[in-house]
Amino acid sequence: MVMEHIEIGTREFMALAGEGRHPGTTQILRHFAWAHLPEHLRPTSHNVANLALHMVVKLPDGPELTAGLRKLLEAKDCFVRAAIDAE
């Protein structure tokens, strides 16, 4: 993939960020995309995605990274719902 043609925050962008990693890591990273969300929800999702990307950069692939990302994804979903409720 050529990064310059991929919009930041899309599923494709997140998958590319996990390129070369274990398929489980790459697969779950796609769900941290935020570009599809309404503008007012993007910052909440983007902040959590940044943490997910940081963990992928700093930690080795393995079951604990995958479990941590899955739990972070669940938390991101809760935070986005809370942001919806705050409207």
Q: What is the pLDDT of residues 21-55, one digit of tens each?
A: 999 999 999 999 999 999 999 999 999 999 999 99
Domain boundaries, the chain: 3-85
Q: Cα(5)–Cα(68) distance, rounded to whole angstroms? A: 30
Residue 5: pLDDT over 90:
no
pLDDT for the residue numbered 87: 84
Spatial contact of 44 and 83, defined as CB atoms under 8 Å apart: yes
Residue 10: pLDDT over 80:
yes
